[in-house]
Amino acid sequence: MTKWIRWPGLAAFIVITALLVAGFMFLSGPFIAKAIEVAGTGMVGAKVDVAGARPGLFPLGLRLSGIEITDPDAPMTNAVEIANISMRMDTKALMLRKIDVTEMTVEGIRLGTPRRVSGALPEKDKKDKGRKETGEESASSLRERIPMPSMEIPDVQIILERASLGSLEEAENLEKALRQEYERFDERLKNLPDADDFRAYRTRIENLKRGSGLSGVLTGARELREIKSSVDKDILALRNTRREMEESIADLRRRMASLGSMASEDVNNLMERYGISDEGLSNITGILLGPEWENRLRKGLGLYRRVEPLLDRVREREKKPEPEKVLRSEGVDILFAEIPVRPDFLIRRASLSLEVPVGNLKGTLRNATAQQPLVGSPMEIRFKGDSLSDIESFDLQLVFDRVNPKAPTDHLKAGVSGWHPETMGSGDLALNAEKGDFSVDLISSRGALKGKMALDLTGVSFEMPDSGDRVRAAVASGLRDINRITVQGDLGGTLEKPEIKLSSSLDAVVRGAVTRAAREATETLRARLHEEVHAMTDKKIRELENQLGGMADLRAVLDERLNLAGRLDI
């Protein structure tokens, strides 16, 4: 039997096989690490580094260490850093050029760690800058959407210097009209009979009355009738002028009388423009929490937008037309169906260990593949942690459902209890809380966001520096008795423009305090404006009254002439 065995050949076979295995074990690692770096860098858009890769044959698997994935928006920061990844793979699937990871362990996951060297790609610099600028603009527009109310009473003199008052404009028009009317009637009086004319009438009448004889009497009677006719015409002209003058004076007085109400209307218009508004603090919850939570939402969606294209990659690839097959000249080409149909890459399950500042979170990953229709189940990630530093319990669940590529739906659900939050808000108004519970339920479907969040804070206290402003003092007084806040949030918008609307019982308390203080400030401003505007208007009215006195003098002249005409004994 042993004659059939050629011992030298067997020894050579064993040695060659051992050398091949040893070569595979020691030389393939760097090639695998480099391949992962190249593929990862292409997908992320920033450098992906792998410190080491060590394949295994029995069982078939791979161990990676020192994985660093650069944050494309912050090249000196790793979005994710992983200490070790160990995986076992299906040998049969690998023979079919498929990667089927049956078991995976991911240890030492850390987020946002610093890098020694920049992980930016040269050709991505311009795009990164544009993306950063867009983000800054979005944050700015967010802050502008929630303005703080102006608590200061505006300077009345500055308001009046800039304002156009209808009452003063009407007073100037009246002054011009009065001057024109005075000049018109004064010129008209020059053409009407005056005292000299009536004295001439009287002299002529007295001379006629001294006439004698029949002819003298007859001539005197005819001239008297002519004088009487002339006097009647003069009296009619004087009376018509006086009537027109009365009507003009009455119209001017009516317009002068309306100046007071116009001044009040001016005050109302100024109050609408410069009045103290309480609208700015109608959503104190949004002012306190909005910027911080919107920033967190944007960061989370930013990571999600990085991952989402990877899930759609296969779908895009499936849309590409299939290349034409080269017709073979002869023979029969038999294609055996792959049973079951396997995705090109699949991680069936993995255990994860995430290191965060509050402690370590244990997690699981299931069905990680870009070909979910072949698996029939969505990709699921879940992290849980208990008795963490500053947090009693944490639970995060992510479901990326692309089983039906035409209706992709991703779902995020998270809950945090016993959280000890840091100070929220700005230096003008800050919120502290001893403990808080938080939950969020967010669904993304075809780029549209829809969800809700809830935040329950207990042991609440506020910090508002005393600036001497009575409105702020009123707000601080209203907040002093609050020790618990329940916040509700509606999430919406799109991945590019997410929206978050926060509300709580705090809004009504602050709104009431601000409204009362704003009302007091408004009444103070109204009183000052009323005093100044009416003072200016009354001054104009007095000047107009003096000018109207000139018209009265003309009327007195008319009355005197009519009196002279009436005393003629014709």
pLDDT digits (tens, 9 = 90+) for 428-474: 677 888 999 999 999 998 889 999 999 898 998 888 777 666 666 77
What DSSP designation does 124 have?
G
pLDDT of residue 431: 80
Q: Which residue has the tokens 């109050």?
A: 271
Phi, psi of 193 (to 5 degrees): -60, 135
Strands lying side by side in the sheet with 430-432: 424-425, 430-432, 461-463
| 378 backbone dihedrals φ, ψ, rounded to 5° | -75, 165
Q: Would you state the pLDDT for residue 311?
A: 66
Measured in Å, how far apart are the chain's first and last C-alpha atoms?
Answer: 178
pLDDT score, position 259? 93
The SS3 call for residue 237 is: helix
Cα(244)–Cα(252) distance, integer angstroms? 12
The list of the chain residues with pLDDT below 70 reads 1-5, 18-28, 123-152, 211-214, 216, 277-284, 286-288, 290-291, 303, 306-339, 425-428, 467-472
Place of tokens 């590019």: 496
**What's 496's DSSP letter?**
S
* Residue 127: Cβ within 10 Å count: 12
**Under DSSP, is residue 470 helix (H, G, I), strand (E, B) or coil?**
helix
Longest dimension (CA), the chain: 196
DSSP letter, residue 494: B
Name the phi and psi angles at 420, rounded to 5.
Answer: -105, 95
Instruction: Quote the pLDDT of residue 151.
Output: 57
Letter string b/e over residues 436-458, b meaning 16 or more CB atoms within 10 A of that residue's CB? bbbebbbbbeeeebebebebbbe
Residue 368: which residues within 8 A CB-CB, separation 6 or more? 346, 347, 350, 379
Residue 184 confidence (pLDDT) = 94
Identify which of 449, 433, 431 has the alpha carbon closest to the alpha carbon of residue 441: 449
Strands (E), 242-309: none
In this prediction, residue 243 carries a pLDDT of 94
Token digits of residue 493: 């918008």
Strand ranges, E, within 262-358 = 345-356
Q: Rounded to 5 degrees, what are φ and ψ at 164?
A: -110, 105
Q: Report how far residue 243's alpha carbon sits from residue 250's, in angstroms, rounded to the nearest whole number.
A: 10
Two tokens, residue 373: 């229709």
